[in-house]
């Protein structure tokens, strides 16, 4: 899939971005989105051909720090947003599982995602490819937006997202290996019940498709105790990409 060409200054509304996604199995559209002459270029491609996921990609046009903001209002903005550590984010090879209401607390999920990037060697994700999907449980839609914003803010180049945000745990593992991705996020609490009053979970699989080893999960937990900033993209409209 060609992702490398520079983009034109084309505005695309969210309704047109999402139209026709569920029609023909061979439907394919790419969009230029806003005007990113200085910092990033984005190209969005959507496929309904199973099991090819949606693609969100960002490629840096010039070296910049994560806190750089571009002057023009329609440009992509990446900023370092202050936060404080939150207790209780002990991470195992099965990731982090809590009640949905816990994950919905301000900065709870964002802290963990940023702590994960703080724990990985830069070469494991910078300008790289990650996979994102889950089991469709409550809160996955909102969580996906947080994950994508922080991944882009930390310099991830491309993110493959399952159709409607859904990819089973084995599917994420398979896509990581098939696409030679750097890793992937799985939004699932496995057999635990889902829903507003029940459980939600997140875990990270490595480039092998296997869960992150204990050496990494221990680092993630350690970094949740010291995280001070989220590096994230601020433009909300960029990430409303038809997870329904």
Domain membership flag for residue 5: no
Structure confidence at residue 63 (pLDDT): 34
Domain annotation covers residue 117: yes
Asked if residue 3 belongs to a domain, the reply is no
The domain total for the chain is 1
Q: What is the pLDDT of residue 181?
A: 96
Instruction: At 116, list the tokens.
Output: 């994960």
Nearest to 162 by CA among 143, 138, 144: 144
Residue 80 lies in a domain: yes
* Active site annotation includes 215: no
- Residue 7: inside a domain: no
**How much is the pLDDT for 193?**
86
pLDDT on residue 200: 98
**What domain range is 37 assigned to?**
14-239
CA distance 76 to 62: 13
At 56 the pLDDT is 54
Return all residues near 153 (Cβ < 8 A) that are at least 6 apart: 66, 78, 79, 230, 231, 232, 233
Cβ proximity of 234 and 79 under 8 Å: yes
What residues does 28 pair with on adjacent strands? 47
Residue 9 forms part of a structural domain: no
- CATH code of the domain covering residue 59: 3.40.120.10
pLDDT tens digits for range 193-221: 899 999 999 999 999 999 999 999 999 99
pTM value > 0.75: no
pLDDT of 235: 64
> Which residues does the chain have with pLDDT short of 70?
1-76, 235-244
Catalytically annotated residue among 9, 16, 190, 208: 190
Residue 82 gets which letter from DSSP?
A: E
What pLDDT sits at residue 191? Answer: 87
């Amino acid at each position: 899939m060609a992702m490398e060409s520079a983009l034109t200054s084309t505005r695309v509304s969210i309704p047109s971005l999402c139209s026709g996604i569920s029609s023909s199995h061979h439907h394919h559209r790419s969009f230029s989105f806003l005007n990113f002459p200085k910092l990033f270029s984005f190209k969005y491609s959507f496929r309904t051909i199973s099991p090819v996921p949606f693609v969100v990609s960002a490629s840096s046009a010039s070296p910049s720090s994560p806190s750089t903001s571009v002057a023009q209002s329609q440009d992509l903005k990446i900023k370092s947003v202050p936060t404080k550590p939150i207790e209780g984010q002990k991470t195992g090879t099965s990731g982090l599982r809590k009640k949905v209401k816990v994950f919905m607390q301000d900065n709870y999920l964002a802290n963990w995602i940023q702590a994960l990037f703080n724990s990985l060697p830069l070469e494991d994700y910078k300008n790289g490819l990650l996979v994102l999907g889950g089991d469709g449980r409550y809160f996955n839609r909102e969580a996906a937006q947080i994950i994508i914003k922080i991944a882009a803010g930390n310099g991830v180049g491309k993110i493959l997202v399952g159709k409607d945000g859904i990819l089973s745990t084995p599917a994420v593992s398979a896509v990581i290996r098939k696409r030679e991705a750097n890793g992937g996020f799985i939004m699932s609490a496995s057999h635990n019940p889902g829903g507003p009053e029940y459980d939600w979970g997140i875990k990270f699989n490595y480039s092998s498709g296997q869960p992150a080893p204990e050496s990494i999960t221990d680092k993630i937990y350690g970094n949740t105790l010291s995280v001070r900033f989220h590096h994230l993209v601020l433009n909300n409209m960029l990430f409303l990409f038809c997870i329904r």
